[in-house]
Chain A
Amino acid sequence: MSKNKYIMVDGAQEILDAYVYEFLKREEDVLAGKVHVFDTVYKPILDKQGVQMVNMQVGGEHVGQVMYSATDTLRFWDAHKKLDVLNSELESGCKTFVLCKTSDDIDKAIEEGKIAILASLAGGRPLQGKANLNLLSSLRSLYRMGLRGLQLTGNTRNRLADGQAQERTRGKLTGFGRDVVKEADRLGILLDTAQLSDAGFYDLIELTKNPVIDSHSCAKSIYDHPRNISDERIKAIADKEGVVGINFWSTLVAGDKDTPDVNDLMKHIKHMVELVGADHVALGPNYSAYETPVDRESVRGFGNLGPDYCEFDRLTPLQSEKYPGWIDGMYYGIKKSDFIQGPNTHENFSLIVDALEKEFDKEICRKILGENLIRVYKDVLK
């Protein structure tokens, strides 16, 4: 298959629910070294996807992504829980992935054919501490557990900045947000501007000394959606030697169509390559945790949810009980499929390779499929 010619990176993927729940189910066996559920549950999926490195979201803001945690304290716990899963697997002898903490870790993992994981947060709410206190200890604690990526916001407001659903505030980073950015720079944590409001974005770009990524967004000038980003913003990321990961969500690729496909996606890629060159474009499909069904009834502590529960598109009923089609404070609409036709799941991801090869030469394909993101990851990690 064509995918084997490239070192491929998934620039934005939620850690699989199925993996976390399987770990919970078999925690004792994992800790005793009897089984590595990463190998039994997650690796086969990543192998099918054909990726060697993943920017893996181990928590964040919206409830579906954080094991239904409803408060910021629980979101803080959730991120620790997921990092504990990865760390426990490694400590019990799992050899098939590396939780990348340094630039060398990335090189080594890829050289040895292991899955390289860059653990990140999709939104800064887990960092919000006490109501009357803004401390950076939460960021450092997660850093020690292996966190190396931080997307500042979801769509809504948090105590770091405003998200794209809150453009009306024209708010820049907060004082706490600026402190977090400086601390992330100091530690070597990759900053991700996905879902950040424009005013917050330009503030961050000016403040950080590192390249930034927008891990999963499309171009506003190709499809105008509040969740997509302007050409000016794409240029600003390129000027910082950063990278934009193209999102595979139907709504963002071509929300006006019933079933957008890979040709619609290519329009965004081509546009960005023309705008800022091939060094600043990558893929952030944002495949979601719920993609793989989970038999939750069999998972300790989750039995009461029942198997039917997870057959919902969890984004819809849980986060948007008010109005269908709303997610995290923004309207996405209800599409026939969340993802574009073609590379709509992990296992069909490689269809994008064929589409890219039709359009670009090998060198550009190599950059978009992986090299660009690896370059930035290595730039930022110490």
Chain B
Amino acid sequence: MSQKLKKKKWEEISDRAKKLNEESIFIDAHNHMMFEYAIREALGEKDIFDTHYAPELQSGRINMIGTSIGSNSPCLSNLTDDLVFGCFEQIDMLNRAEKESKFIKICRTTDDIIETANENKLGVMMTFEGSRVLEGRHGEESLVMLRILHRLGLRMNCICGAARTAFADGMGEVVADAGLTTFGVKAIKEMNRIGMLIDLTHMNDRSYFDVLEVSEKPVIVSHIGTQHICPNPNNLSDERILALGKNDGVICLEMVKTEIKHKAEETGEVVTFDNVVDHIDHIVSLIGIDHVGIGLDFDNFELVHNVHRAMSPFPGSIEGFYTGVPKGDHMLDDPNNLSEAYVIAEYLVNRGYSNEDITKILGGNLLRVFRETIG
């Protein structure tokens, strides 16, 4: 590390930041603990959530995480190519965790989230990152899986990972330049109807704007940066940000270095949440404070250092698309993991955000969107 970084312990942050952490409902919209959780279960560990994840979240003052329980590839579907089966196994895992854990509560409604925070429990909302699990028999355009998974607790659906789904293409699939499919349109309408929050992270341009035309409810982008600050192809263009503002949705900022500071992994420079605030400033300047949230996309666990690439057949490949091999730690230097997430409020305080604004960023905006979508 070329620059020196003085990291603050909880005791060292300002009283104002402490108070904000304690009084806000702090939501991390995107998390990948289930990958490591599944491995721990396979290794025969007991009380996994309370031993490993609860202390981290409590230390970070996070009240709820949206955790991926299914996806387009084995890394997020309980290590199996049989994506549907892997997804259902992970749902079962979470339900068993809820029974044995002192802290965990599966959140299905906005009130669940608020109660969870009030009871000092830790909320988990089931989400997807890539929706192949929902596809069903091809050509049939059946919404059965969507409704079943909703009944089982799925509340946020990030429709795309890198690759193609029956609904829309991910940003890895730039070549086809395709919009939303007819099935995609049906699924958007059904998600609006049953109360499932649509997440447009990783979606290609055409489909992204198609969804914003079709959806009658606000949507989110659960983990991302902005291209204006960091020209990573995954990040949001201003056009996308403006469109999302019109939709009244929320953009959640993440802690993956390469999407926050351009080529940071190569230069080895220190990247902190201060750099993330650059993105937040930019979004606020375009569409205002009501459209910013947090979705850290933390995937650097003790047993698996890079979840997304963990089941990859080639180094650097995700869902068949090459995304580069990270050098060293690909998470922000500060906070470097969820247990340090309390520092986010401190960075926001230092950059002049008001208490009201910070409360919105930490979770208030997401709560508004949850209220309007999942109920």
Q: Which residue numbers of A lie inside 8 Å of B, CB to CB?
A: 61-63, 70, 125, 130-134, 154-159, 161-162, 165-166, 168-178, 199-200, 319-322, 327-329
Are A172 and B72 CB-contacts (below 8 A) given A131-B83, A132-B311, A165-B182?
no
Instruction: Give the chain B neighbours of A159 by CB distance below 8 A.
Output: 163-164
B101 interface contact, C-beta 8 A? no
Q: How many residues of B contact A (CB 8 A)?
A: 40
Contact residues in B for A130 (Cβ distance below 8 Å): 81, 313
On whether the beta carbons of A173 and B175 are closer than 8 Å, the reply is yes
- Chain A CB within 8 A of B247 CB: no
Interface centre among A62, A130, A172, A328 (most CB of B within 10 A): A130
Q: How far is the CB of A271 from chain B (nearest CB, A)?
A: 29
B139 touches A161 (CB 8 A): no
Of B137, B163, B164, B318, most A-chain CB atoms within 10 Å: B164
A132 touches B73 (CB 8 A): yes
> Ordered nearest first, which 8 A-B pairs have the shortest CB separation?
A171-B178, A132-B73, A169-B178, A329-B139, A134-B320, A171-B176, A175-B175, A174-B176
Which residues from A are CB-within-8-Å of B166?
156-157
**Which chain A residues lie closer than 8 Å to B178 at the CB level?**
162, 169-172, 199
Known: A155-B139, A173-B176. 11 other contacts (CB 8 A): A63-B137, A132-B318, A133-B320, A156-B139, A156-B166, A166-B182, A168-B185, A170-B178, A172-B175, A328-B139, A329-B138
Assuming A125-B138, A165-B182, is B177 touching A171 (CB within 8 A)?
yes
Interface residues as binary, B183-205 with A (CB distance below 8 Å gives 1, 0 otherwise): 10100000000000000000000
Decide if B176 touches A61 in the complex (CB within 8 Å): no
Contact A70/B137 with A166-B181, A171-B169 known, Cβ cut-off 8 Å: yes
Main secondary structure of the interface of B (DSSP, over half): loop
Set of chain B residues within 8 Å of A154, measured between Cβ atoms: 139
List, in ascending order, chain A residues with CB within 8 A of B139's CB. 61-62, 154-156, 165, 319, 327-329
| Residues from chain A with Cβ under 8 Å of B74 in the complex | 131-132
Rounded to whole angstroms, the CA-CA distance of A161 and B311 in the bound complex is 26
Which residue numbers of B lie inside 8 Å of A, CB to CB? 72-75, 81, 83, 132, 137-142, 163-164, 166, 169, 172-183, 185, 206-207, 311-313, 317-321
Q: Determine the chain B residues whose CB is within 8 A of the CB of A320 once the complex forms.
A: 140
Q: A154 CA to B142 CA in the complex, in Å?
A: 17
Please name all residues of chain A whose beta carbon is closer than 8 Å to the beta carbon of B313 when the two chains form the complex: 130, 132-133
What CA separation (Å) do A155 and B178 show in the bound complex?
A: 15
Assess the A132–B75 pair: CB atoms within 8 A. yes
Cβ of B372 to closest chain A Cβ, rounded Å? 27
> What are 13 A-B contacts with C-beta separation under 8 Å?
A131-B73, A132-B75, A132-B311, A132-B312, A156-B138, A157-B183, A165-B182, A170-B177, A171-B169, A171-B176, A171-B178, A172-B177, A319-B140
Question: How distant is A102 from chain B, measured CB to nearest CB, in Å?
Answer: 32
Q: Which residue of A lies closest to B75 (CB)?
A: A132
